[in-house]
Amino acid sequence: MAAAAASLHATAAVSKSRSAAIPQVATSVRVAAASRGPGSARARGGLVVARAAAVKDEAADTNSGGHEVLMFEALREAMIEEMTLDPTVCMIGEDVGDYGGSYKVSKGLSEMFGDLRVLDTPIAENSFTGMGVGAAMKGLRPVVEGMNMGFLLLAYNQISNNCGMLHYTSGGQFKIPIVIRGPGGVGRQLGAEHSQRLESYFQSIPGLQMVACSTPYNAKGLLKAAIRSENPVVVFEHVLLYNMKEKIPDEDYICCLEEAEMVRPGSQVTILTYSRMRYHVMQAVKTLVNKGYDPEVIDIRSLKPFDLHTIGNSVKKTHRVLIVEECMRTGGIGASLRSAIIDNFWDELDAPPMCLSSQDVPTPYAAPLEDATVVQPPQIVAAIEEICR
């Protein structure tokens, strides 16, 4: 089914000749849509707001050519473009400089920009994240990399107390335009501590915005938007997705931080997912389509705040919801999302919203146990059959 929804990527949203000044406009920018889906666009003071989420516009894509990248290369492109455009953008993390980043996201960047802009830190997550906060308060735009998201547990004090809170407790005097990014999620037998999902731990922090990328297109777009945003944004990447390949536009584009992405429009049941589970869902969808189901798949992308408009429109259409996530069951993103759906769309539901999450266990090392920890496609198929009964 062709993606008919509006696209959000701009053909010329950002001029490359922009000066070094930090953009005045707040950067969760709704850029002009290259094409519009039916009934979707609503003009607001000059900026066109697309109702549905960012999907690559196929027509514009073939026109401009585009180029194929792996996800880590897309992130790297985003870093290079933003660091070139704005000299206050810098990178802080372990092994981001000489080593090029443990997942090669910053490969070659310290040769390009120097080792003060691409700062190799000692192993002190709490302190270098706090350093990023202090630098952000004084006008820089740091991108702090956690070598693995799990390591940022050590930085929790700074992320919660300072990133999240300082704009508020200072009465709005200081802004913290910091981006915290890194790979998380369950990998291939990496062991419990390298297989953590921190989305649920950070989601309650007031003042923090969270996005999760899943494709090279949205990875580049979201990282660029996060860097330009005045808010502290945590960008969740996934260890197993760095080698995903996709063709992305040549021209500059960003994705809206607060919007969800329509992956597959449908009519029967809404599946909400993010990050790696999107691929498990799409694999299950193949089976489901063969069995005659018509699921609508939305990649929520914005973990905090939720895009209740896109989600709500979908629920109003299908009346059934399944959430598939990699977070733990207890207190995960799915738990909050289910709650938000019940609060806002109770009357639309024909069945209780179901949530498939990881087990509440430290990820075991053994392969069959690890597979059983996360949600697998057969479970998704079974859940849809259950909901649609």
Partner 1 sequence: MAAASFTAAKFLAPVAGRSGGDRPAPFLPAPSSARPLRRTRPAQRLLAVSSDVLAGNKAAPAAAAQPAVTREEALELYEDMVLGRNFEDMCAQMYYRGKMFGFVHLYNGQEAVSTGFIKLLNQPDCVVSTYRDHVHALSKGVPARSVMAELFGKATGCCRGQGGSMHMFSEPHNVLGGFAFIGEGIPVATGAAFAAKYRHEVLKQSSPDGLDVTLAFFGDGTANNGQFFECLNMAQLWKLPIVFVVENNLWAIGMSHIRATSDPEIWKKGPAFGMPGVHVDGMDVLKVREVAKEAIDRARRGEGPTLVECETYRFRGHSLADPDELRRPDEKSHYAARDPIMSLKKYIIEQSLASEAELKSIEKRIDDVVEEAVDFADASPLPPRSQLLENVFADPKGFGIGPDGKYRCEDPKFTQGTAQV
Which chain residues interact with partner 1 by CB under 8 A? Answer: 20, 26-28, 42, 49, 51, 87-88, 90, 114, 116-117, 121-122, 124, 126-140, 157-158, 161-162, 166-177, 206-207, 209, 229-231, 257-259, 302, 304-310, 312, 344-345
DSSP per-residue letters across 110-132 = HHHH-TTTEEEPPS-HHHHHHHH
Nearer to partner 1, 137 or 248 (CB): 137
Exposed, middle or buried by CB within 10 Å (0-12, 13-18, 19+), for 105? buried
Q: Smallest distance, Å, CB 348 to partner 1?
A: 10
Nearer to partner 1, 294 or 348 (CB): 348
Nearer to partner 1, 126 or 283 (CB): 126
Asked if 94 is an active-site residue, the reply is no
Specify whether the CB–CB gap between 296 and 314 falls below 8 A. Answer: yes
Q: Smallest distance, Å, CB 332 to partner 1?
A: 16
Nearer to partner 1, 39 or 292 (CB): 39
Asked if 238 is an active-site residue, the reply is no
DSSP H/E element including 150:
none
* Other Cβ atoms closer than 10 A to 5: 23
Nearer to partner 1, 126 or 189 (CB): 126
Sign, Cα dihedral of 368, 374, 379, 380: negative
DSSP state of 155: G
DSSP state of 143: E
Q: Smallest distance, Å, CB 257 to partner 1?
A: 8
48, two tokens = 């066109």
Kindly name the residue from 81, 125, 145, 325 that is annotated as catalytic. Answer: 125
Q: Smallest distance, Å, CB 272 to partner 1?
A: 15
Backbone phi, psi, residue 314, to 5°:
-70, -45
Q: Which long-range contacts (CB under 8 A, 24 or more apart) does 107-116 make?
A: 107/76, 109/76, 109/79, 109/80, 109/83, 112/80, 112/83, 113/83, 116/90
Q: How many residues does the chain have?
A: 389
Nearer to partner 1, 167 or 194 (CB): 167
Nearer to partner 1, 120 or 294 (CB): 120
Q: Smallest distance, Å, CB 197 to partner 1?
A: 20
Kindly name the residue from 9, 81, 94, 194 that is annotated as catalytic. Answer: 194
Q: How far is CA 336 from the centre of its chain?
A: 17
Q: Smallest distance, Å, CB 312 to partner 1?
A: 4
Nearer to partner 1, 186 or 227 (CB): 227
The H-assigned helical ranges of the chain are 58-64, 71-85, 109-113, 125-137, 156-157, 166-169, 199-202, 216-228, 277-290, 308-318, 333-345, 367-373, 377-387
Q: Tell me the pairing of strands 269-273 and 261-264.
A: unpaired
Q: Smallest distance, Å, CB 158 to partner 1?
A: 6
Q: Smallest distance, Å, CB 123 to partner 1?
A: 9
Nearest one of 268, 281, 327, 270 to 303, comparing CA atoms: 327
Nearest one of 317, 218, 339 to 275, comparing CA atoms: 218
Catalytic residues: 125, 194
